[in-house]
């Protein structure tokens, strides 16, 4: 009887040791599989993949310069990292080209929520997308002036423009294109990711000259956010008559 009990205890001990060994193996292997997965996801991009991403960004209208990735990340609502990682590459390759809110005619759109400018061609297809910084919606008191840093919503036309630098009461504007009460789309050395201007629409210095040429006097400018949008197709139709 004693021998039988002893044998039973030995069997139970062996089963406990085996179960413990199995659990230890599972715990040890779990993180290793996860680590291998992370390493695979973080695998560096090849030169061919980098070129493919750059080409795809250009095809979608984001351009090929240093702003292309930033603009893509802002349009897609992704975190602006400025880094072309494996994750960003996958997002670029699977993305579809942006579409304007108003189609069928040449105009400029400024999306205040995304902080982006979209330039379309005569058919209404997007030719260029740029990051912008618009009015901060904060009260300011600078250089003996005060007011609300607000970028108006609605539809406008470029009514005046200047080449080179223009000195305004609140600072210098590079190739300004005026659309409302002294407010302009203009180049600026500082185009932060968030609204920071006094009301103007800042664009990168590198794009200011080309954008000025692409926006002759009379160009329609639509400025909107998620709560406001006004079409200007009726204006465009009258322009064609």
* CATH number for the domain that contains residue 207: 2.40.440.10
Under the banding of pLDDT at 50, 70 and 90, the label for residue 30 is very low
Sign of CA dihedral 150, 124, 94, 64: negative
Q: What's the pTM value of the predicted model, to 2 decimals?
A: 0.81
**pLDDT tens, position by position, 119-149:** 999 999 999 999 999 999 999 998 888 999 9
Q: Comparing C-alpha atoms, which of 54, 81, 57, 59 is closest to residue 70?
A: 81
CB 133 within 8 A of CB 202: yes
> Quick one: pLDDT at residue 41?
57
Say whether both 171 and 112 belong to one domain: yes
> Quick one: pLDDT at residue 143?
82
Confirm whether 18 is domain-assigned: no
**pLDDT tens, position by position, 182-219:** 999 999 999 999 999 999 999 999 999 999 999 999 99
What average pLDDT does the structure give for the chain? 87
Given a cut of 90, whether residue 26 has pLDDT beyond it is no
Structural domain boundaries enclosing 190: 108-240
d(CA 199, CA 161): 17
241/35: higher pLDDT: 241
d(CA 97, CA 78): 15
Say whether both 170 and 205 belong to one domain: yes
42/43: higher pLDDT: 43
Confirm whether 34 is domain-assigned: no
- Report, as an integer, the average pLDDT of 17-45: 50
Number of separate domains in the chain = 2
> Quick one: pLDDT at residue 39?
52
Confirm whether 139 is domain-assigned: yes
Confirm whether 182 is domain-assigned: yes
Helix (H) or strand (E) holding 212: helix 205-214
């Amino acid at each position: 009887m004693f021998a039988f009990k002893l044998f039973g205890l030995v069997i139970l001990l062996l089963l406990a040791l085996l179960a413990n060994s199995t659990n230890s193996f599972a715990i040890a292997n779990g993180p290793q599989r996860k680590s291998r997965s992370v390493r695979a996801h973080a695998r560096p991009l090849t030169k061919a993949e980098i070129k493919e991403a750059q080409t795809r960004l250009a095809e979608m209208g984001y351009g090929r310069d240093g702003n292309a990735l930033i603009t893509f990340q802002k349009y897609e609502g992704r975190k602006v990292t400025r880094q072309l990682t494996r994750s960003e590459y996958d997002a670029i390759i699977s993305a579809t080209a942006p579409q304007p809110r108003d189609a069928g005619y040449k105009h400029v759109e400024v999306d205040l929520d995304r902080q982006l400018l979209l330039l379309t061609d005569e058919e209404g297809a997007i030719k260029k997308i740029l990051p912008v910084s618009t009015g901060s919606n904060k009260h300011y008191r600078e250089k003996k002036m005060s007011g609300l840093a607000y970028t108006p919503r609605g539809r406008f036309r470029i009514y005046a423009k200047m080449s080179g630098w223009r000195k305004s009461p609140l600072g210098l504007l590079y190739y300004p294109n005026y659309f409302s009460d002294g407010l302009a789309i203009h180049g600026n050395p500082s185009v932060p990711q968030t609204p920071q201007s006094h009301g103007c629409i800042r664009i990168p210095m590198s794009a200011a000259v080309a954008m000025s040429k692409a926006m002759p006097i009379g160009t329609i400018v639509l400025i909107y956010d998620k709560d406001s949008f006004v079409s200007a197709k009726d204006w465009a139709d009258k322009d064609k008559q």
